[in-house]
Structure 1
Amino acid sequence: MPDVNALVAHADDAFDAVRAMNHGTIWESQYVAPPTPYRLLGNLSTAGGHGLAQLLGQLADRLDESAARDDLYDAEGGDPGLAAATAVALLRDSAERARAVGVLLDRAQSAVASVGVRD
């Protein structure tokens, strides 16, 4: 069984990393020249595109399995099976969209692969 606290901590770390990158690129004075975008795009493609797609698909699978196996309840009195099925469908859709983001980030990385700054 996975360490749930470790999984949540990794998600917290990912949030903090994206937030730090947003803060590091928000102002024009925070100059980011090649090859930095190439390296960022490669890592983001793997983590935020393809890796995120895999994670979302796996979360959908685990939630679907739990809905079929476990006695779920909804704290607000709704239908827990419907809630789980809705979440699974949304996770699968999100996974497909993350795959598409990964492909676009791969293309962006390829586009800047040979770009440099003259001295």
Structure 2
Amino acid sequence: PAHCTSVGKMLLASLPEQEIAARLPDDAELAAMTPNSITDPAALRETLAGIRARGVAVESRESNPDVSCVAAPVRDRTGAVVAALSISVPMIRWSDERLGELEGLAVKGAAELSERLGHRSAA
């Protein structure tokens, strides 16, 4: 089965900085699932900051060597992130050119779910 860490990264990225620090101390041992897995806490914190800035998480074969994925946040009526929607894609169908399209689909789907939960975007 396809497994994806982009959902976990999206959920972690939505936490306040102090909660991330408490859950991810500098000496945390992060197990590698593939050679692409992020195993350094500082590198993961940097990745999480990028996810917060972009509003989407991307995973490139970090949990399964044959799958990459993207995830976007699902928000409730208060704006809190309560879930994430991800799209997992086998590497034979993945390309850098498709990444923008896949990110757009994940963001659109997550926005639709968020709306159903009562979230109203600022736009």
Would you say same fold, with TM above 0.5? Answer: no
Name the TM-score, length of structure 2 as normaliser.
Answer: 0.24
More contact order relative to length (CA 8 Å, sep ≥ 6): 1
More helix by percentage? 1
More strand by percentage? 2
Q: Larger Cα Rg: Structure 1 or Structure 2?
A: 1
